[in-house]
Structure 1
Amino acid sequence: MKNINTIKWGIIGLGNIANQFASDLLLLEDAEIFAVASRNKDKAIEFANKYNCPKAYDSYDALFKDDQVDIIYIATPHDSHAELSIKALENGKHVLCEKPMSLSYKDAIRMIEASKKHNKFFMEAFWTRFIPSVQEVLEKINLGIIGDIKSVKADFSFYADEKEGGRLFDKNNGGGALFDIGVYPLFLSYIILGNPEEIMAKSINHINGIDLQTSMILQYENAQSTLQASIISESDMKATISGTEGYIQLNSPWFVADGYSIFKGEKESKYSLPNFGKGYTYEAIECHKCIRNNQIESSLWSHQNSLELSRIVEEIKNQIGLEF
């Protein structure tokens, strides 16, 4: 039995991420998957049946105009995020938009302006910001448990087969390592150390112009971050935050860590924090809280946070000569 104050979700872009997000929404008593949309009607119906969703549309505009939908989760390819988010906001819908929110800083600004103009909640779907391990690690860093932070090391890497029509290698859809997965290690550096003073980046590029692997150094006044994103190499995908009195390591894969360890001298202290569902539940809960409090942004991942991260990504995009 659903809660009387249920928040009704619409979902567009019915691929892998949308399936994972939808399965987590089913775990929340106050969430209902109320409508889904795909340009392929059969795909929309199949997705709706899978998650007991009452409405399936074959156009995004039709879903935008559904008066019963409260918030729309946008999980389409990167290149469409900006226009679809703005259109949803114009139609009076709250929006949770998959990362990266856009392929340019200019579009990111337009999206935030639309949220403010229409007084509707908007958040970039950086689910990692809300998982318990990351929340607790940030608290311990702020308490000075490992002293002053001097280094962040993180990567997001895996080997991907280039398949015909595959989104990762499709330049038209905003493919490549930086925008698809590089935003994760950049996000971690940002939430720990803030805006860097200098950015250095180098890439291995595909013949079509996308980056296959990008290494980044972010220089701060008294710290550095060494980060990498790759779709052509494997990794243990642990993240290490080092300070003057010890270091913290997030379990692999760090962006959805089920725990972490603190190392001080010869001592290792382990902390286990299993995620609820796949971990998307926490960002959905944050959306619900903000909407009920009439907020147009989250204090944990604010409009300003998204804009500042977008500006960092834009600088790297320019340095490696990535054009969409």
Structure 2
Amino acid sequence: MIKWGILGLGNIAKKFASDLKLVPTAALHAVASRDLSKANEFANENNASKTYGTYQQLFEDKEVIVIYIATPHNNHAELSIQAMTHGKHVLCEKPIGVNEKEVRAMVAASKNNKVFLMEGLWSRFNPTIKKVKNLINKKEIGSLNYMYADFAFYGLDREEDGRLLNPSMAGGSLLDIGIYPVFLAYLFLGKPETILAKSNFHSTGVEIQTSIIFQYKNAQAVLYSGLNSTTQTIAEFSGSEGSIIIPSRWHVAQGYELKKGNESSFVSMPRNGLGFTYEIEEVHQCILKNKTESELWNHQNSIDLAQLLDSIRKEVGIIFPFEE
């Protein structure tokens, strides 16, 4: 049994804890929040054995093997490094770091302390996305020449001091949800030769709408994220001999549509739980094999993704106050 700790107890942590119950080899041992009453409530709802009112107490719990960090983006690097310094394995919610510098520091901490570190990009381990990648690698639709992916919802009704609209918490659409389309383009096409991007901004200073084109030698990826409207949230891959579409919402996919000529077929692949079980199982397998990184989403992948996000931010002018 691998005992988990969860640090940062918001909505994403609640979903993660729900799926943790579906993994037979996992147990939620401890949770931590700066608000002890919040920690107690979360522990009661999710059958955690211990609650802590400070993060340090969780780091010092000798029974905790791995910690899931689900705080706002701006705290990811500092808390992950502290956890790893205490010998804990870490699964850190995406983006693993706000920029490349932070990610490299986290990777160094993983190697120096000989502990596992992975970015919580759960979509990478989704069975549908793994299957579609396998089909495209086998040239099922010929050469991949175009892909499209979007992710947007209306979030302008949120509190302006909350994580989504607060620049001091690395808010905005790009790092929160735009990371998904960017990740998908990177997964299927690699790093682009050039990047074009344009953004619109909120009165608080955060970016709330970004359109991106990744230019490759023989392909293009058109990507979008936004907080001022709701989009379909689909992913499309078009090749010389057909296309594959992952319907809404593609990042938690449960099947795909294959189109070749005049024929079309949908393959249903129902997921287990909300979709976190697959990355949890990957973490377990890596820890049991004494790995410091996953082969499916390794440290270099996270560094590459951070570099792409940094490049987009530079193109459109996204700078957070704590980076200046």
Aligned to 1:188: 184
Q: Deviations over 1:93-127 (max 9, x none)?
A: 00000000111111110001110111100000000
Aligned to 2:96: 101
In structure 2, how many angstroms separate the alpha carbons of the residues matched to 1:49 and 1:141? 45
Structure 1 runs (4+) greater than 3 angstroms displaced? none
State the secondary structure of the residue aligned to 2:168.
Answer: helix
2:295 — aligned with what?
A: 299
Give the counterpart of 1:117 among 86, 98, 112: 112
Quote the residue 1:276 is aligned against.
272
Q: Give the TM-score of the pair, scaled to structure 2.
A: 0.97
Q: Does 1:72 align with 2:67?
A: yes
Residue type matched to 1:85 in 2?
S
Cα distance in 2 for residues equivalent to 1:300 and 1:288? 13
Please name the residue that 2:229 is paired with: 233
The equivalent of 2:50 in structure 1 is: 55
- For these two proteins, the number of residue pairs brought into alignment is 319
Q: Distance in 2 between matches of 1:255 and 1:49?
A: 30
Q: Which runs of 5+ in 2 are unaligned?
A: none
Shift of 1:292: 0.2
Letter in 1 for 2:153: F
- Percentage identity across paired residues of the two chains: 49
Residue 223 of structure 2 aligns to a residue whose secondary structure is: strand
Which of 209, 212, 220 does residue 213 from structure 1 map onto?
A: 209
Alignment of structure 1 residues 240-279 onto 2, 5 Å: 240-279=236-275
Which residue identity lines up with residue 119 of structure 1 in the other structure?
A: K
Partner of 1:10: 5
3-state DSSP class of the match of 1:215? strand
Q: Which range moved further: 160-169 or 207-216?
A: 160-169
- 2:283 maps to which of 262, 287, 291: 287
- Does residue 41 of structure 1 match 2:36? yes
The CA RMSD over aligned residues, in Å, is 0.7
Contact persistence 2:245–2:258 (CA under 8 A): yes
Deviations 1:252-286 (A, max 9, x none): 10001110001001100110000100000000000
The answer as to 2:127 corresponding to 1:132 is: yes
Q: Distance in 2 between matches of 1:295 and 1:313?
A: 27
1:3: which partner in 2?
none
State the match for 2:142 in structure 1: 147
Contact 1:9 1:73 in 2 (8 A): yes
- Secondary structure of the corresponding residue to residue 296 of structure 2: coil
Given that 2:33 and 2:53 are in contact with CA atoms closer than 8 Å, whether structure 1 keeps it comes out as yes
Counterparts of 1:317 and 1:162, CA distance in 2? 24
- Structure 1, gaps ≥5 residues long: 1-5
Give 2:171's match in structure 1, choosing from 172, 175, 179.
175
